């Protein structure tokens, strides 16, 4: 955008002009490629106030629906989770679902649960019967396009997931599901009983054309939905869920008591396993039928055939323990009933920490995203039985281990930004015990002391990345910066300093073949290739810089020492990157200008994943890390490489994997969206259009718009919160930005116009900042001429040096009332001190 034209002026000139500014002419090509949204394409009157700006609803239309989504329900910190697929299938996998290796160190406490998995698959009638479980393996999405109708109940705090089947027989059947532990209290024994309560309800029935009863089946088996790793076909999704019927048979038999019910009374029916333990309990309504039938083609697989009267409100309840339970225990849980169990869950889920933020933007999807994502963070976590400590997990059903680098973002870019400081503290503490214990994964580090080195606990570690050290340190330092928690500092200050010492020692070590002054080569990602990658530089520098920021705030005597080391690190990095760029191959932009294709490493052998490393863990991370500014020509050109470069010609919008050549598709990484580092470029540059396109793209295209669970790669691995950090960081910085300029807070700088409304007061309550929690409320007047803003900071010390408010670019907006002080809405407002 021209620096001579204010954003507001540009927008008030009209959507067409704005659209022209958004559109990238270089992207115009005859062949399909990554989508670049244009306001002009959306129409001059589209978007809030005709601005052409995107909204969450519009962003839903940018991609085809995501396939094979699964979402966990569970209990905070419990060892187990129930994974609910888009089609209502429940996966009970108490062991590691996808062990990356056979290492006995991996969650040894789960070994006892191997083979005790269970799957409940709802099967709808077809052609007068039920489709049998096929004999041959098949990709799940090929049976039903991999798409279902799903969402959360919004009238309760408990995460109650619903899945719907719209049956042409004339009714809508809906499954509700939530998890409950006996007693409804925070967990004590991590592996204790946990139940899924499920309800199958006739949600709606056609008044004139419906059956008397509706029959469906619950197919009971072992878990036969399996992760197919590796592209099975050309550019198929990297992790495809494959139904493997051969894995389905249970080792033992199932049975029910004999049922004699000629009067059609409501029944409670237990399903027992071969030991007599209760595998599930079913409560049928009056007029229902129930029969357990072994699959004729697959002994060991059972269909629980159920029929309910097709009357609205009729429902059938299912109690599903993660593991078979003694009859008395299952009966005690069943005695609670749906309402009783849900009541206990409400007591459990309703309380919020005093520090917790509250976000209400007026965009339903955005608000619900934050509401449920916070809950999911503690569900995709566990209190590890071996250490008794809590840890976030990278995912559920697949990545139920800990990749510390991406998962650290749950802390410092997600939960800490939402005031969930106690949760972050509790899930970070485990790393203290591992500091200085493990050896860094690189030959060059053998000569260095391991003091201060952070690593993932071995029982949780999938792959050893050197970046984990920086990620853990960044999580700790950022938590201290945002929480202002003295008790945390009491425990963590020394480990943070020791962590900085490790980085400084490593950068000062020169007896290696890589670039001196940087972190020497080490394993950087799942490839295990030891390389002096940009990825390990970015994470360790970011952590060092954040630590310096913290130590300076504390007035720590070593703050400047580490500050100097950070400066040297940054300088060495910039020099090395410019040197590498000078020798790098080039690409030609649409204007005919040549630019370097930046390397992913300064030293090390070729990697089997070059395309992933080029974007996800490549040079664009430098802006986020603070190693280079976004307006550096290398950064500008390399970001454009992924927007209009040669990768775009090879990009197939509908068939690509996480390992393919990455492009920016609606400003979202086509590889792993959680690494859409370009958003930090747009943020720093004030490229509002790309920033909002990326933020909304992530909300609607990288997390399920139905359940808000995130993917690693679209249509591939789900059950994670990979993308929540990036969305949270962008949403928060769109309205409250304490990162752009030191000691300043910028308000509404990149606020979406969709959040500015006369009908709704947008609130961001208790948003943690470097200066203390900030509350911001704003609402447009009915005539659209003034914006009333309530702004309050609970400053830890003196507060920011300056606070600036960027008036939304709304035609007709004349005034901004901030804490009753009126300002003209012409341009950036510098708030008066005390206001």
| 329 vs 334: CA distance, rounded Å | 9
Strand order in the sheet with 802-805: 736-737, 744-747, 802-805, 829-830
Two tokens, residue 665: 């598709």
- Bridge partners of 818? 789, 821
Stretch that binds another protein, among 10-18, 75-83, 123-131, 398-406 (CB under 8 A): 123-131
Among 28, 293, 437, 579, binds another protein (CB under 8 A): 293
Q: Which is nearer to another protein, 132 or 653 (CB)?
A: 132
**Chain Cα centroid distance, residue 303:** 35
Among 135, 251, 741, 830, binds another protein (CB under 8 A): 135
Find all residues with CB under 8 Å of 406, minimum gap 6, and list them. Answer: 394, 471, 674, 722
Write the CB contacts of 761 (distance below 8 Å, at least 6 apart in sequence): 360, 777, 778, 779
Any contact of residue 342 with another protein (CB under 8 A)?
no
Rounded to a whole number of angstroms, the minimum distance from the CB of residue 278 to another protein is 15
- Which of 39, 46, 292, 711 touches another protein (CB under 8 A)? 292
According to DSSP, the residues that pair with 533 across neighbouring strands are: 601
Question: Which of 529, 422, 411 is closest to 465 using CA atoms?
Answer: 529
For residue 533, which phi and psi values (nearest 5 degrees)? -80, 155
Taking the complex as a whole, how short is the minimal distance between the CB of residue 250 and another protein, in angstroms? 16
Q: Give the CB-side neighbour count of residue 145, counting CA atoms within 13 A.
A: 6
Q: Which stretch binds another protein (CB under 8 A): 165-173, 295-303, 330-338, 665-673?
A: 295-303
CB of 712 to another protein, least distance (A): 36
Which CB, 261 or 387, lies closer to another protein?
Answer: 261
What three-state secondary structure class fits 175?
Answer: strand
Q: Is 212 exposed, middle or buried (0-12, 13-18, 19+ CB in 10 A)?
A: exposed
Tell me whether strands 239-243 and 138-139 are parallel, antiparallel or unpaired: antiparallel
Residue 739 structure tokens: 């990162």
Q: How far is the CB of 120 from another protein (least distance, A)?
A: 18
In terms of CB distance, is 127 or 351 closer to another protein? 127
Minimum Å gap between C-beta 334 and another protein is 17
268 binds another protein (CB under 8 A): no
Size of the site for another protein (CB under 8 A): 27
The region of 57-65, 293-301, 580-588, 691-699 touching another protein under the rule CB under 8 A is: 293-301
Alpha-carbon gap, residue 110 to 53, rounded angstroms: 49
Residues forming a β-bridge with 270: 281
Give min distance, CB of 258 to another protein, in A. 4
- Work out which of 40, 223, 237, 307 binds another protein, going by CB under 8 A: 307
The nearest distance, CB 319 to another protein, in angstroms, is: 19
Q: How far apart are the first and last CA of the chain?
A: 31
Q: Pick from 155, 296, 354, 797 the residue near another protein by CB under 8 A.
A: 296
Examine residue 168 and tell whether it contacts another protein (CB under 8 A).
Answer: no
For 237-265, b/e burial (b = at least 16 CB within 10 A) is bbbbbbbbbebbbbeeebbbeeeeeeeee
Decide if residue 335 touches another protein (CB under 8 A).
no
Please say which residue, 261 or 790, places its beta carbon nearer to another protein: 261
Shortest reach from residue 325's CB to another protein, in Å: 21
Which of 249/773 has CB closer to another protein? 249
CB-based burial, 809-829: b 16+ in 10 Å, e otherwise:
bbeebbebbbeeeebebeeeb
Three-state secondary-structure class, residue 41: helix
Convert 135-197 into a string of H (helix), E (strand) and C (coil).
CCCEECHHHHCCCCEEEECCCCCCCCEEEEEEECCCEEEEEEEEEECCCCCCCCCCCCCCEEE
Least separation in angstroms between residue 338's CB and another protein is 21
Tokens of 219: 């197919």
Which secondary structure element, helix H or strand E, spans residue 822, and what is its range? strand 821-824
For residues 39 and 44, give the distance between their C-alpha atoms in angstroms, rounded to a whole number.
7
Determine, following the binding rule CB under 8 A, whether residue 289 of this chain makes contact with another protein: yes
Closest CA to 601 of 544, 657, 537, 664: 537
Choosing from 25, 230, 299, 812, the residue that interacts with another protein (CB under 8 A) is 299
Q: Which is nearer to another protein, 309 or 671 (CB)?
A: 309
Is 127 one of the binding residues for another protein (CB under 8 A)? yes
* Under rule CB under 8 A, residue 294 binds another protein: yes
Q: Which CB sits closer to another protein, 282 or 818? A: 282
Shortest Cβ distance from residue 249 to another protein (Å)?
13
Which lies closer to another protein via its Cβ, residue 301 or residue 727?
301
The CA–CA distances, whole Å, from 276 to 252, 513, 574, 701 equal: 11, 64, 67, 46
- Residue 5 contacts another protein per CB under 8 A: no
Distances (CA, A) of 258 to 288, 289, 292, 579, 674: 15, 13, 10, 78, 52
Q: In angstroms, give the least distance from the CB of 232 to another protein.
A: 22
Is 585 an interacting residue with respect to another protein (CB under 8 A)? no
Residue 293 CB, nearest approach to another protein (Å): 5
Q: Which is nearer to another protein, 22 or 217 (CB)?
A: 217
Q: Which residue among 149, 277, 291, 574 contacts another protein (CB under 8 A)?
A: 291
Q: Which of 61-69, 200-208, 291-299, 524-532 is the region at the interface with another protein (rule: CB under 8 A)?
A: 291-299
227 to 266: interface string for another protein, x by CB under 8 A = ----------------------------xxxxxxxxxxx-
User: Per DSSP, what are the bridge partners of residue 744?
Assistant: 802
Cα–Cα distance measured from residue 6 to residue 805, given in angstroms and rounded to the nearest whole number: 14
Place of tokens 């409100």: 313
The window from 290-298, 465-473, 550-558, 656-664 that contacts another protein (CB under 8 A) reads 290-298
Two tokens at 296? 């004729």
Rounded least distance, CB 301 to another protein, Å? 12
Among 102, 104, 129, 834, binds another protein (CB under 8 A): 129
Nearer to another protein, 254 or 418 (CB): 254
Beta carbon nearer to another protein, 128 or 351: 128
- Beta bridge partners, 384, equal none
We find the least distance from the C-beta atom of residue 304 to another protein, in angstroms, to be 10
The pairing of strands 668-669 and 213-221 is: unpaired
Distances (CA, A) of 7 to 2, 349, 830: 9, 42, 17
Select 156 or 291, whichever has its Cβ closest to another protein: 291
Residue (123 or 418) nearer to another protein, CB: 123
Query: Which is closer to another protein, CB of 39 or CB of 290?
Result: 290
Nearer residue to another protein within complex by CB, 135 or 830: 135
Return the number of the residue (262 or 833) whose C-beta is nearest another protein.
262
The CB-of-275 to another protein minimum distance in angstroms stands at: 18
Q: Does 351 bind another protein (CB under 8 A)?
A: no
Applying CB under 8 A, the residues found at the interface with another protein are: 127-130, 132, 135, 255-265, 289-294, 296-297, 299, 307
């Amino acid at each position: 955008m021209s620096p001579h034209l204010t954003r507001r002026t540009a927008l008030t000139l009209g959507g067409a002009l704005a659209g022209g500014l958004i559109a990238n002419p270089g992207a115009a090509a005859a062949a399909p490629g990554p989508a670049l949204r244009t306001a002009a394409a959306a129409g001059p009157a589209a978007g809030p106030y005709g601005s052409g700006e995107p909204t969450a609803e519009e962003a839903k239309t940018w991609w085809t629906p995501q396939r094979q989504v699964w979402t966990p329900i569970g209990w905070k910190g419990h060892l187990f989770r129930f994974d609910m697929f888009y089609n209502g299938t429940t996966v009970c996998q108490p062991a590691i679902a996808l062990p990356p290796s056979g290492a006995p160190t991996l969650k040894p406490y789960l070994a006892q649960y191997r083979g005790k998995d269970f799957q409940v698959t709802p099967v709808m009638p077809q052609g007068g019967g039920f489709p049998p479980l096929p004999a041959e393996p098949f990709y799940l999405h090929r049976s039903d396009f991999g798409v279902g109708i799903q969402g959360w109940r919004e009238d309760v705090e408990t995460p109650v997931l619903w899945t719907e089947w719209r049956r042409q027989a004339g009714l809508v059947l809906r499954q509700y599901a939530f998890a409950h532990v006996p007693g409804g209290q925070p967990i004590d024994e991590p592996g204790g009983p946990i139940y899924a309560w499920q309800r199958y309800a006739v949600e709606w029935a056609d008044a004139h054309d419906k059956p008397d009863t509706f029959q469906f089946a619950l197919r009971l088996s072992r878990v036969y939905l399996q992760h197919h790793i590796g592209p099975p076909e050309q550019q198929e999704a990297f992790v495809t869920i494959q139904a493997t019927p051969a894995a389905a048979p249970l080792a033992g038999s199932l049975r029910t008591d004999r049922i004699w019910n000629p009067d059609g009374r409501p029944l409670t029916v237990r399903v027992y396993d071969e030991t007599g333990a209760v595998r599930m309990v079913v409560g049928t309504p009056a007029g229902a039928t129930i029969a357990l039938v072994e699959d004729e083609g697959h002994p060991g697989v059972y269909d629980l055939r159920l029929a309910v009267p097709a009357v609205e409100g009729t429902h059938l309840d299912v109690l599903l323990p993660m593991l078979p339970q003694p009859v008395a225990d299952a009966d005690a849980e069943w005695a609670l009933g749906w309402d009783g169990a849900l009541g206990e869950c409400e007591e459990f889920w309703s309380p919020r920490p005093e520090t917790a933020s509250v976000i209400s933007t007026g965009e339903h999807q955005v608000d619900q995203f934050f509401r449920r994502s916070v809950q999911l963070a503690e569900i995709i976590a566990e209190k590890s039985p071996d250490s008794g400590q809590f840890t976030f997990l990278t995912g559920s059903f697949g990545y139920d281990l800990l990749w510390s680098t991406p998962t650290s973002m749950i802390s410092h870019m997600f939960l800490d930004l939402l005031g969930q400081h106690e949760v972050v503290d509790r899930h970070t503490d485990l790393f203290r015990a591992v500091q200085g214990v493990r050896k860094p994964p690189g030959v060059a580090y053998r000569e260095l002391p391991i003091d201060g080195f952070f690593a993932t606990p071995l029982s949780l570690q999938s792959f050893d990345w050197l970046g984990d050290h920086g990620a853990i340190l960044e999580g700790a330092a950022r938590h201290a910066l945002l929480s202002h928690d003295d008790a945390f500092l009491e425990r963590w200050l020394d480990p943070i300093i020791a962590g900085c010492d490790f980085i400084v020692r490593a950068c000062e070590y020169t007896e290696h073949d890589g670039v001196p002054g940087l972190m020497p080569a080490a394993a950087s990602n799942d490839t295990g290739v030891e390389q002096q990658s940009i990825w390990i530089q970015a994470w360790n520098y970011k952590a060092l810089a954040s630590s310096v920021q913290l130590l300076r705030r504390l007035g720590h005597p070593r703050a400047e020492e580490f500050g100097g080391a950070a400066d040297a690190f940054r300088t060495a990095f910039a020099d090395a990157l410019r040197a590498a760029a000078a020798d790098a191959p080039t690409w030609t932009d649409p204007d005919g200008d040549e630019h370097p294709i930046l390397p992913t490493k300064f030293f090390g052998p070729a990697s089997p994943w070059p395309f992933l490393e080029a974007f996800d863990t490549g040079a664009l991370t430098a802006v986020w890390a603070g190693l280079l500014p976004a307006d550096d020509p290398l950064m500008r050109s390399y970001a454009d490489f992924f927007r209009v470069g040669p990768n775009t010609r090879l990009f197939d919008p509908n068939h690509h994997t996480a390992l393919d050549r990455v492009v920016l598709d609606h400003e979202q990484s086509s590889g792993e969206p959680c690494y859409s580092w370009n958003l930090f470029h747009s943020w720093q540059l004030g490229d509002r259009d790309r920033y909002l396109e990326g933020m909304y793209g992530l909300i609607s295209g990288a997390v399920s718009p139905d359940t808000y669970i995130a993917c690693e790669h679209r249509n591939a691995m789900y059950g994670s919160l990979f993308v929540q950090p990036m969305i949270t960081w962008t949403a928060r910085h769109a309205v409250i930005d304490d990162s752009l300029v030191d000691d300043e807070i910028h308000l509404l700088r990149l606020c979406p116009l969709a959040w500015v409304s006369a009908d709704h007061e947008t609130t961001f309550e208790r948003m943690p900042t470097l200066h203390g929690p900030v509350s911001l409320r704003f609402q447009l007047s009915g005539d659209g001429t003034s914006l009333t803003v309530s702004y309050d900071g609970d400053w830890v010390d003196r507060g920011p040096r300056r606070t600036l408010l960027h008036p939304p670019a709304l035609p007709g907006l004349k005034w901004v009332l901030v804490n009753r002080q009126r300002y003209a809405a012409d341009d950036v407002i510098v708030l008066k001190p005390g206001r």
